[in-house]
Chain A
């Protein structure tokens, strides 16, 4: 090892000592995500309040991690939940198993499910990682900031 190599190495050290650090003060500051970031799922409703999901289970068929469970039921005049003939009585995603591949979003014929930007999904009990339909219909409680055009962290 020559003296030149040592100087080169210390050069990097001194240079970075003077630049701004890359680490963030999480959780006070959050990393902004790209627009196509795949995070927590969201189920959508139409403007009239009816759910877009008809409980067709195509997301279940597409899911490579087998983390979705759908139990469908028929809409009745007394209980109309979705716009189609059927609706999902149970819609559960096991976030502990989900690999956030987004195939469910691709498979959905009604654009009822999308993967949103929220990535803060830790719980103290793994049973709480099974997200129910009500949880998925509501906006994510912890929103993640979106990265602006050309923004660098």
Chain B
């Protein structure tokens, strides 16, 4: 179980001590509870959770006898000492365990049959294993109204709480949102937020995972199933490039819950998930889900069976030169098979990937890379550009942990964000990240184990800054770089050697392709959409989309093939740090849908070229063969925890973006994982959906003759945005405007170029607020 810290019994100079008459050893500083567990002795714990921070000894469950120490000691907070004599099964220990459990259960309602934790409850399991079996309490138990909504997604049952403080410590020390606290004393103690308002946090769902009783439960999962009704599948989250390892709880073919793994991946997420990753799963049966193939004809839309639709797609593509566009969330298998089509079933096809071209990032990516878990050991963590708290959520927790462990955090960037409070951050002017990087170079050179996190989107747009940062990292041989990626499987698509979408766009414009196949690609909702809008306007050939959800591009497509989502299909994703991890199918998809890779294989069959693979694993082997980045990586090697790519995923031949042109005010765009497309499709996350707002300082608003609440559109040299609502905020830098990417209708994407080059925009009011 993940509740005990892993103990490395192979290090030298271990401390020897006696455990229940056995002579054993553990590294110095290991807590007794962990050392005993490593040697096969389970000491019951409730409040101890090594991932949260130092032990507090609140629950008294872990009492053991240590010779020479008066009374019983808490094993969770007693480090091993040389020649310590520890006894865990004596009468005194047993009596203490019985006593603690009897008191913990004095007010516990024992409503296990109606409790969502029942069956997977540490209190239940440990009472069964260590408890007295009877209670002397005959008095009535404390009763309180239940449940309370701690937030829209978390139910609090105060009767069941055993005051272990795990959730409070998570909020205070791990997420550091300062929301939760314990109120009152004794039998009246209860968990609540300081203000009494709902718990607002980007990581609030983790308190459900750490709660050792059923006091905190998930509202979307409330009464949905019991542990023996479900199958749990280890998988990976495909909503952002961090690649958190998740566990899917599946009942009757549907994903009913997503939790952190019981055996977390220390190199990535350490068991913590962001709220979007945890609750977005109901997007797989949302209104926008495409459940049947759509054929768009002059007489109107009609649905078709999958079989007919694939036949139709093959007929549309036969004899044509296709442009194939692979979306950033497509798996390695889907992208690889799509690339294979160009050599076989669709000769001459142009295959490209969506997302940031990133030609300027080559020097950075070539440097020695770090995994997120390596941040723990760093003495200096630099954040160059970006906003990890909004764009790579779980990276925020790793950063906060590094800070807790004593690392210095510093950074630079054009936008204010939640992590600036962790250290010295330099606010750079938009388009001038190089100035910030220059001022960080000295600190990087002076540190002994620095890790430099850099934002893909920000640095891709500023080649000078990327070059300067690469030079600064290269100057210190101990320094490692850690990419804060912008695209779910961007690394995977680059590792397959796919060129950027410009290749297909140019071919569409030049008329060298006369059909378009989109694999989870949505160019009409992505940066650079203005260019695609114009190109598709005059495109006469058929557009075939393989997609799981309706978006602007499926509206335009002539044929839509329904695909499975990341909760339903097999595949491989490569995280922003080049970690190859496998998606495992949890739920079944809708009747009329199939996995993207299966649709592509079926298409190849129909076009007369039979691919040499029939399973996702075989497809992975086939499409990664001969790609140096994937050398030595097989589905088996990726295993449950994934492996890093053999070589950095580089792009060849991409050019660096030009500096901002035109006139107006600089726009800083931020991708939002919270409130992005997945959150909008999920009923559970509806209240987190990012509004389409343009934020600016009061002086900037005055300079553009707009007020708070006005509806405006932006115009840049790349195109025009959709409507945004002006929000004037204090504390924002002047002379710059901020807008989110991924807001409903993708308004901001219209003014941005695909290469994320800095843009200047003109603000035009269309409606007074």
Contact = CB atoms under 8 A, between A and B. Distances in A.
Interface in A56-94: 56-58, 60-61, 70-74, 84-86
A56 B229 contact: no
B39 interface: no
B226 A74 contact: no
A86 B146 CA distance: 12
B540 interface: no
Contact of A60 (B111, B223, B229): B229
Q: Which of A60, A70, A72 has the most CB of B within 10 A?
A: A72
Contacts of B118: 56
B223 A86 contact: yes
Contact of B114 (A54, A61, A71): A54
Contacts of B225: 57, 71-72
Given A73-B223, A74-B222, A74-B223, A56 B228 contact: no
Contact of A58 (B111, B113, B146, B224): B113
Given A86-B114, A110-B113, A56 B226 contact: yes
B250 to A, nearest CB: 14
Interface string B107-126: 00001011000110000000
B141 to A, nearest CB: 16
Contacts of B228: 57, 60-61
Contacts of B223: 55, 72-74, 85-86
A73 B119 CA distance: 18
Given A55-B223, A72-B223, A74-B223, A85 B114 contact: yes
Interface string A41-63: 00000000000001111101100
A139 to B, nearest CB: 25
Given A57-B228, A57-B229, A60-B229, A109 B113 contact: yes
Contacts of A73: 223
Nearest to A86: B223
A56 B223 CA distance: 9
Nearest to B118: A56
B749 to A, nearest CB: 40
A85 B229 CA distance: 19
A54 B223 CA distance: 10
B237 to A, nearest CB: 27
Contacts, number: 37
Contacts of B114: 54, 56, 84-86
A28 B225 CA distance: 45
A136 to B, nearest CB: 18
Interface in B211-236: 222-226, 228-229
A110 B166 CA distance: 32
Contacts of B229: 57, 60, 70
A70 B225 CA distance: 9
Interface residues of B, number: 13
Interface string B425-455: 0000000000000000000000000000000
A59 B224 CA distance: 16
A15 B259 CA distance: 75
A61 B226 contact: yes
Nearest to A58: B113
B585 to A, nearest CB: 22
A93 to B, nearest CB: 15
A107 B664 CA distance: 72
A61 B226 CA distance: 9
Interface in A104-122: 109-110
A56 B222 contact: no
A129 to B, nearest CB: 20
A71 B225 CA distance: 7
A55 B226 CA distance: 10
Contacts of A60: 226, 228-229
Interface string B517-547: 0000000000000000000000000000000
Nearest to A87: B223
A54 B113 contact: yes
Interface in B194-248: 222-226, 228-229
Contacts of A74: 222-223
B167 to A, nearest CB: 21
A60 B224 CA distance: 14
Contacts of A72: 223-225
A36 B187 CA distance: 46
Interface string B143-160: 000100000000000000
A86 B113 CA distance: 10
Interface string B79-111: 000000000000000000000000000000001
A73 B114 CA distance: 10
Contacts of A84: 111, 113-114
Nearest to B155: A74
Contacts of B146: 85
Nearest to B222: A74
Contacts of A85: 111, 114, 146, 223
Nearest to A109: B113
A109 B114 CA distance: 10
Contacts of A58: 113
A86 B222 CA distance: 9
Contacts of A57: 225-226, 228-229
Nearest to A56: B113
A101 to B, nearest CB: 17
- Interface core residue of B222, B225, B226 (most chain A CB under 10 Å): B226
Nearest to A54: B114
A36 B224 CA distance: 34
Report which residue of A57, A60, A73 has the largest number of chain B beta carbons within 10 angstroms of its beta carbon: A57
A104 to B, nearest CB: 13
B154 to A, nearest CB: 15
A110 B114 CA distance: 11
B709 to A, nearest CB: 37
The 8 closest A-B pairs by CB, nearest first: A56-B113, A57-B226, A72-B223, A86-B223, A61-B228, A85-B114, A109-B113, A84-B114
Interface of B: 111, 113-114, 118-119, 146, 222-226, 228-229
Given A54-B113, A84-B113, A85-B223, 5 more contacts: A56-B113, A58-B113, A61-B226, A73-B223, A74-B222
6 contacts: A56-B114, A57-B226, A60-B229, A72-B224, A85-B223, A86-B114
